[in-house]
Amino acid sequence: MIFLELFYTFFTIGLFTFGGGYAMLPLIQEKVIAHGWMEMEELTNFVAISESTPGPFAINISTYVGAETAGVLGSLCATLGVVLPSFLIILIVARIYVRFKNSRAVSATMFGLRAAVVGLMAGALWGMLKTVFFHSTPVAWSSVLRPEFLCSAVIFAAAVTAALKKVSPIIIIVSSAAAGILCGCLFL
């Protein structure tokens, strides 16, 4: 049943995401795209939508995937699923807060997890780069000279420079959209 499946999938995603926000991307790619609920390109579009609307990425993406798959009830199930693990775990942790904070076992486990999240996110980024630049797996180097690739590369390079200089995400997204329209009208 689709509602249970949405709930269960987002429950696992919520349960195994450490660090919040985009740390969720590797699991979204594995679970949501594998289910056929979303495509990589759509996910990339949605990151931009989530950045331009208020609220946490986790809630935005679960609501969206739920709504696209099974309407309002679907989005309710997915969002409830992503929220519930955090909610229950924090209820427990809030009771043993001081012991949790000073726990060596927790800090030792987090030591491994923090490193894992960096590698996983780089992997998720790689997957998205491949889709945006090559539209396909396997990577075809012959497509490097196509106008789509060149436009994407220029926009990406400019955006990375801007992002690392702490330009606001909204400005980056709006300028990229303008650049996309310009490239589209001129070259595509």
Find the binding residues for another protein in span 129-168 (CB under 8 A): 129, 132, 148, 151-153, 155-156, 158-160, 162-164
Q: To 5 degrees, how large is the angle CA 144–CA 132–CA 183?
A: 70
> What CA–CA distance (Å, rounded) separates 77 from 39?
20
Minimum CB distance to another protein, residue 158 (Å): 8
**Chain residues 97-136 in contact with another protein, contact rule CB under 8 A:** 97, 100-101, 104-129, 132
Segment lying near another protein (by CB under 8 A), choices 1-9, 93-101, 138-146: 93-101
Task: Closer to another protein by CB, 4 or 119: give it.
Answer: 119
Segment lying near another protein (by CB under 8 A), choices 1-9, 51-59, 138-146: 51-59
SS (H, E, C) 102-117: CCHHHHHHHHHHHHHH
Is 33 one of the binding residues for another protein (CB under 8 A)?
no
Minimum CB distance to another protein, residue 167 (Å): 9
Is 47 one of the binding residues for another protein (CB under 8 A)?
yes
Minimum CB distance to another protein, residue 75 (Å): 6
Using only the alpha carbons of the chain, give its radius of gyration: 19
8 A C-beta contact, residue 24 and residue 15? no
Is 2 one of the binding residues for another protein (CB under 8 A)?
no
Residues 6+ apart with CB under 8 A from 70: 2, 3, 6, 77
Q: To 5 degrees, how large is the angle CA 167–CA 14–CA 174?
A: 25
Segment lying near another protein (by CB under 8 A), choices 1-9, 59-67, 138-146: 59-67
Number of other residues whose CB lies within 10 A of the CB of residue 170:
11
Minimum CB distance to another protein, residue 37 (Å): 12
